[in-house]
Amino acid sequence: MCGIVGYVGKESATPILVESLKRLEYRGYDSAGITVFNGSLETFKTVGKIADLEDILPEETIANVGIGHTRWATHGKPETRNAHPHMSSCISVVHNGIIENYLQIKEMLIGLGYIFESDTDTEVIAHLLNYKMQSETKRPDLLTAVRETIRELEGSYAIAALCSDEPECLVFARKDSPLVLGIGEDGYYAASDVTAFLKYTKDVVYIDDNEIGSIRPDCIEVFDLKGNLLTKETHTIEWDLEAAEKAGYEHFMLKEIHELYLTPEQIKHLRRATIIACGTSWNAGILGKYLFEKLTGIHTDIETASEFRYGNPVLCGEELTIAITQSGETADTLAAVRSSKSYGCRNIAITNVVGSTITRESDSVVYTRAGPEIGVAATKTFTAQLITLYMLAIHLGRARGVISAEEAKNLIVNIKRLPGQIQKILNRKEEIRECAEQFADMKDYFFIGRYLNFPIALEGALKLKEISYIHAEGYAAGELKHGPLALLTEETPVVAIATMGHTYDKILSNIKEVKARNSTVIAVANEDDTEIEKYVDVVLRIPPSHEMTSPVLSSVVLQLLAYYTALAKDCSIDKPRNLAKSVTVE
Ligand code: M6R
């Protein structure tokens, strides 16, 4: 869950590495560092953000080669000694991933006299590389030493390494962590994600698992693990050629839904779908399950990727899997998709990031196109995932004849109303701020909802805990009496999503159960609901809306509630403690 970068070229490496690391800060931001070749390898690292790293860098450097890293701690606390790059005399290494067998390797290296300065798994790579280069018979070059080193590593890695004996060479390798190269006019780049170097070049080469290679001033070479030179395709990122890409469709979403590569016959015969995701994307997936079952008649399961990958899924290969991942890089989601594909399942990816790993490993992709989301807490991308799921379900439902043209049209009309309705909520955000401030000192919160509002309750709780550090639980409202009611006291606010729909009366009963335990109830309800005030303490309003689409509106209210609570508590809103935007380790 870290970000790595590298540069070899004619330009000064330091500002390029720093600029690239800033673009990757969403992947981790507890410490950062760079190594540049300035006659010898010079390493600078510090705890904190990239701005803190900038403060300790020399003003001028003539280095044209360097590597860099922004860290999200997995092994070892955020301390300077645990920040990357890690050194072993003439070697410097940055790494994203987790080396699972690092303790065994560390023990072996300590036995050989190596001294460890950090608590990280990565430091074993630097020392192991150093050890490989000390071969008594024939001293291998850096590329060979990296190849020999990674043979001994178990786990995941994207690595970039420098050796002062080969000052103009950067060696990289990848397994289960993203890595992409950039080909610029004045140099070559390596990074965890294309956004790192998009400012410098749009020509990229995606490195696949079990590939290794070198970047020198005049060439890039990529090999398989046996040493065979590979011919890699160069892709040009054309993110801004929007109009030309729409191919006559009014919207990208419509075009992409038509690109599902499922024939009408295949769609008709679909019997089962499995949605795979983590975190917020998983919450969106629960709504997806309800939508799919209602609008398409396809039995739909929702799976947490980290569980699915180690479970025993019963798949015959005819199921459709739908992976939802904002970043397209979540390690567990990628692994779960690989596992389902090994059964022959066809996968649709719903992602926000063009060119991300999931897009290259799926049979078809629907982009949410919410634009870059920098805050660690998913907000607009969650909304975009929900809309994508509505559109996908409507498309499949029509193709299967489960919903009529009239029903589809009615739903689309209601989806089109959402931006205006969301604006109305944003206009009333002061009410949400007041509510948030009133309860900001609480230690525990509950969020309850039924049917389509259940995943919104889960997401409301996730948002609150993620950025305000308040313990919050999301629950299916009907489940409260099966245990959680025991936790309710006057000090436990309960947010109840009580919007109009066929479960409205049921949630009113749940609210009464809660009030009978003296808890404060904050309801999210429609503006035209005059009944609700009789039963609750605070009402946060959403415009009158269709039962099917109101969850999108309620989720915006809960995002604002989490935001203002975190603000009242003076929390680090965009970069909450312990979290990173993209979770590329399991
Ligand atoms: O990029 P993904 O959608 O695969 O990320 C999955 C989760 O890590 C992510 O949704 C996380 O839960 C969010 N930070 C929550 O706001």
Domains of the chain with bracketed CATH: 3-236 (3.60.20.10), 242-416 (3.40.50.10490), 419-568 (3.40.50.10490)
Identify the CA nearest to 109 among candidates 118, 445, 365.
118
Q: How far is the CA of 390 from the centre of ligand 1 (A)?
A: 20
Q: Distance between CA atoms of 581 and 256, rounded to whole angstroms?
A: 25
Tokens of 161: 């390494």
Which residues lie closer than 8 Å to 413 by C-beta, 6 or more apart?
none
Q: Distance between CA atoms of 137 and 314, rounded to whole angstroms?
A: 52
pLDDT confidence band for 247 (50 / 70 / 90): low
Nearest CA to ligand 1 atom 14: 377
Q: How many CB atoms lie within 10 A of CB 476?
A: 18
Residue 241, pLDDT above cutoff 60: no
Q: What is the mean pLDDT of the chain?
A: 91
pLDDT confidence band for 53 (50 / 70 / 90): very high
Q: Pairing mode, if any, of strands 521-526 and 538-542?
A: parallel
The atom of ligand 1 lying closest to the CA of 327 is 1
What pLDDT was estimated at residue 473?
Answer: 96
The verdict on the CB of residue 281 being under 6 Å from ligand 1 is: yes
What pLDDT was estimated at residue 309?
Answer: 86
Amino acid at 403: I
CB neighbour class for 583 (10 Å; exposed up to 12, middle 13-18, buried from 19): buried
Which helix (H) or strand (E) segment holds residue 107: the answer is helix 102-111
pLDDT confidence band for 343 (50 / 70 / 90): confident
Q: Distance between CA atoms of 562 and 101, rounded to whole angstroms?
A: 39
- Angle, helices 429-438 vs 550-568, to 10°: value is 50
Identify the CA nearest to 477 among candidates 524, 526, 422.
524
- Specify the higher pLDDT residue, 360 or 482: 482
Which helix (H) or strand (E) segment holds residue 171: the answer is strand 170-175
What pLDDT was estimated at residue 250?
Answer: 60
The verdict on the CB of residue 287 being under 6 Å from ligand 1 is: no
| pTM exceeds 0.75, yes or no | no
- Angle, helices 102-111 vs 123-133, to 10°: value is 50
Could you please report the per-residue DSSP string of 402-429?
SS-HHHHHHHHHHHHHHHHHHHHHHHTH
For 112, 134, 144, 171, the CA distances from 138, given in Å and listed in that order, are: 19, 9, 11, 19
Q: Considering only 87-101, 313-327, 399-413, which range has the smallest mean pLDDT?
A: 313-327
Distance between start and end Cα atoms, the chain: 9
Q: Considering only 60-64, 164-168, 386-390, 495-499, which range has the smallest mean pLDDT?
A: 60-64
Q: Is 571 an active-site residue? A: no
What pLDDT was estimated at residue 173?
Answer: 98
Give the CA-trace dihedral at 441, 447, 453, 456, to 10 degrees.
60
Q: How far is the CA of 277 from the centre of ligand 1 (A)?
A: 9
Nearest CA to ligand 1 atom 8: 279
Q: Per the residue annotation, which of 2, 163, 345, 435 is the catalytic one?
A: 2
Q: How many CB atoms lie within 10 A of CB 159?
A: 30
Looking at residues 251-257, what average pLDDT do you find?
58
φ/ψ of 159, rounded to 5, equals -125, 145
Looking at residues 236-247, what average pLDDT do you find?
53
pLDDT confidence band for 248 (50 / 70 / 90): low
Longest CA–CA span in the chain (Å) reads 85
pLDDT confidence band for 77 (50 / 70 / 90): confident
Q: How far is the CA of 364 from the centre of ligand 1 (A)?
A: 21
Q: How far is the CA of 374 from the centre of ligand 1 (A)?
A: 12
Q: Is 2 an active-site residue? A: yes
- Specify the higher pLDDT residue, 129 or 577: 129
Q: Distance between CA atoms of 104 and 201, rounded to whole angstroms?
A: 41
* pLDDT tens digits, 392-423: 999 999 999 999 999 999 999 999 999 999 99
Which residues lie closer than 8 Å to 123 by C-beta, 6 or more apart?
86, 88, 106, 116, 117
Amino acid at 301: D
Residue 126, pLDDT above cutoff 70: yes
The atom of ligand 1 lying closest to the CA of 377 is 16
Q: Considering only 166-170, 194-198, 525-529, which range has the smallest mean pLDDT?
A: 194-198
CB 61 within 8 A of CB 7: no
The atom of ligand 1 lying closest to the CA of 279 is 12
What pLDDT was estimated at residue 254?
Answer: 59
CB neighbour class for 26 (10 Å; exposed up to 12, middle 13-18, buried from 19): buried
Amino acid at 93: V
The verdict on the CB of residue 212 being under 6 Å from ligand 1 is: no
The verdict on the CB of residue 278 being under 6 Å from ligand 1 is: yes
- Specify the higher pLDDT residue, 225 or 355: 225
Q: How far is the CA of 576 from the centre of ligand 1 (A)?
A: 13
CB 584 within 8 A of CB 71: no
- Angle, helices 380-399 vs 550-568, to 10°: value is 170
**What residue has token string 């799926």?**
362
Q: Pairing mode, if any, of strands 444-449 and 494-497?
A: parallel
φ/ψ of 279, rounded to 5, equals 55, -135
pLDDT confidence band for 245 (50 / 70 / 90): very low
Q: Give CA 484 to chain center in angstroms.
A: 30
What percent of the chain clears pLDDT 90, i.e. is strictly above it?
A: 75
Q: How far is the CA of 381 from the centre of ligand 1 (A)?
A: 10
* pLDDT tens digits, 472-503: 999 999 999 899 888 999 999 999 999 999 99
The Cα angle at residue 559 between residues 553 and 563, in degrees rounded to 5: 150
The verdict on the CB of residue 378 being under 6 Å from ligand 1 is: yes
* pLDDT tens digits, 168-187: 999 999 998 889 999 999 99
What pLDDT was estimated at residue 255?
Answer: 59
Looking at residues 15-29, what average pLDDT do you find?
89
Residue 24, pLDDT above cutoff 70: yes
* pLDDT tens digits, 558-572: 999 999 999 999 998
Which residues lie closer than 8 Å to 42 by C-beta, 6 or more apart?
35, 36, 61, 63
Q: Per the residue annotation, which of 106, 175, 463, 581 is the catalytic one?
A: 581
For 16, 214, 267, 291, 526, the CA distances from 392, given in Å and listed in that order, are: 41, 42, 12, 9, 26
